[in-house]
Amino acid sequence: MFKKILIANRGEIAARVIRTCKSLGIATVSIYSKVDKEAPHVTMADEAYECGNPRVTDSYLKIDKILEIARLSKADAIHPGYGLLSENAEFARRCEEAGIVFIGPSADVISRMGSKIESRNSMEKAGVPVVPGISYPLADAEEAAREAHRIGYPVMLKASAGGGGIGMQIVYNESEMKQAFEGNRKRASDFFGDGAMYIEKVVENPRHIEIQILADSYGNTVHLGERECSIQRRHQKVVEEAPSAYLDELTRSKMGEAAVRAAQSIGYRNAGTIEFLVDGNKNFYFLEMNTRLQVEHTITEEITGLDLVAEQLRIAAGHCLNFGQSAVTRDGHAIEVRIYAEDPKTFFPSPGVITKLAIPEGDGIRHELAVHDGSMVTPFYDPMIAKLIVKGKDRDEAIDRLQQALADYQVEGIKTNIPMLQEVIAHPAFRSGDTTTSFVAKYVLEKT
């Protein structure tokens, strides 16, 4: 096992990784920008080094600086967390060249799965269902319009690179396509350095359900069941739960098998997630692969009893998975909500000083956060400040616990999305399991 790990991230995920490292007796190294000097992830670590100015391009994305700190601190490995450099193939490659273990898949796999077109081609070859569409980059708006007519409107115009909904738009006719194509291609090029675009048939009112996998270097791959992540705003998840209330055991099994097949087909290693869209007839289609730990990994941990960060470390250190598929069981129901420093109606960021933070405690309640009274929430980073996770013996008990926990959660000095989360959880449609990707637009935004 590693003796010392550098966490190339910040906030709650850095704190989360440090916690597992401490439990395994592994020394930790944090990095921090000038505005994060007093952040909890800095004080929790055994060592901490400044990596630059506040903006991520001047600090947490500076590969040369991070590798310099890794060498200086004599770290054996780097855990990238999620976001930032976690799916940057060049970073993974540079770690390997420097003789430092990147805790994640190979640079080649990250690169292949980072291209939605290439990942789509890979899944087709592996026999994993994909949404009807094309698997090559479009030349221009005219070709896009021709292919959309062939597939049948409405279609989803999508950027091959990146994520977060950037470069993605539903298009209903040829006129809209000609207007949408160049603008989305430019946004994709500006954000990701890659303007390749393609189209898929729109899956009407789907659910967004993902499968967690673990794979070692010896050909062993298991899935840990599903997470439903359908409740989103601006293509960003805000509520996740496991297991899905929608899936039957047959579909659950088929999706798990497809996820394992997908991972094995590309020689995947470490923790990863295969995301699917599931329609009203329980047909499922590959959406993308996240080649890292997910924000919502916590709910899988709650129902399986596994520590996914610990599993990542063991795999990266060259250990074989010490359990097979038959040993994976689930217990109860878990829900995670993401707490953002943002206006609950407009979703605009709400930076400032947290003047009071009081978090609920009790059975089945877990917190992942890296803020406290007096913490400054800056405009430089993702506005998520905490995750609240609850577990119950079943979904109803988990929902009841979540409602009470949200009512008891106090954050003052900044605005948060807690009122919006309370509205979602209290809605009869959520209780009944009517949780498609249109939930927020249908039941929350239409009232504002």
Q: Where does residue 25 rank: exposed (0-12), middle (13-18), buried (19+ CB within 10 A)?
A: exposed
| 165 pLDDT above the threshold of 80 | no
Helix, strand, coil proportions of the chain in percent (round to 5)? 35, 25, 35
As a whole number of angstroms, the distance between CA 234 and CA 82 comes to: 19
Structure tokens at 30: 């944090």
In this prediction, residue 204 carries a pLDDT of 87
- Kindly list the domain boundaries of the chain, sorted by start residue: 4-103, 132-201, 207-445
Is 83 in contact with 9 (CB distance < 8 Å)?
yes
Reported in sequence order, the residue ranges of 53-179 that DSSP labels E, i.e. its strands, are: 77-79, 101-102, 155-159, 169-171
* DSSP H helical ranges for 98-173: 107-114, 116-126, 141-151
CA gap 43, 35 in Å, rounded:
14
Section 390-417 average pLDDT:
98
**Confidence category of residue 446, pLDDT binned at 50, 70, 90:** low
The one-letter amino acid at 434? D
| Residue 233, pLDDT score | 87
Whether 292 is catalytic is: yes
Quick: pLDDT tens for 172-188.
999 999 999 999 999 98
Which residue in this structure is represented by tokens 């705003």? 233
Neighbours of 279 (CB within 10 A): 15
Domain 132-201: CATH superfamily, name plus number: ATP-grasp fold, A domain (3.30.1490.20)
Cα–Cα–Cα angle for 74, 80, 82, rounded to 5 degrees: 165
Instruction: Pull the structure tokens for residue 152.
Output: 């049948």
Mean pLDDT, range 9-26, rounded to an integer: 97
Query: What is the pLDDT, as a whole number, of residue 417?
Result: 95
What per-residue confidence (pLDDT) applies to 410? 97
- Work out the widest C-alpha separation in the chain, in whole angstroms: 61
| Residues 273-306: tens digit of each pLDDT | 999 999 999 999 999 999 999 999 999 999 999 9
Among 274, 273, 260, 262, residue whose Cα is nearest residue 324: 260
CATH of domain 207-445: 3.30.470.20
pLDDT above 60 for 363:
yes
pLDDT higher than threshold 80 for residue 163: no
Distance of alpha carbon 193 from alpha carbon 80, whole angstroms:
21
Q: Tokens representing 23?
A: 């439990």
Q: CATH class for domain 4-103?
A: alpha beta
How would you classify the pairing of strands 352-353 and 384-392?
Answer: unpaired
Contact criterion met (CB below 8 Å) for 1 and 21: no
Q: Is the pLDDT of residue 84 over 70?
A: yes
Tokens of 381: 């980073």
Instruction: Please name the residue that has the structure tokens 């979904």.
Output: 395
Tokens of 206: 């789907």
Judged against a pLDDT cut of 80, whether residue 164 lies above it is answered with no
Question: Which of 185, 227, 233, 292 is an active site residue?
Answer: 292
Q: The dihedral of CA 443, 12, 394, 290: what is its sign?
A: positive
The confidence score (pLDDT) of residue 190 equals: 86
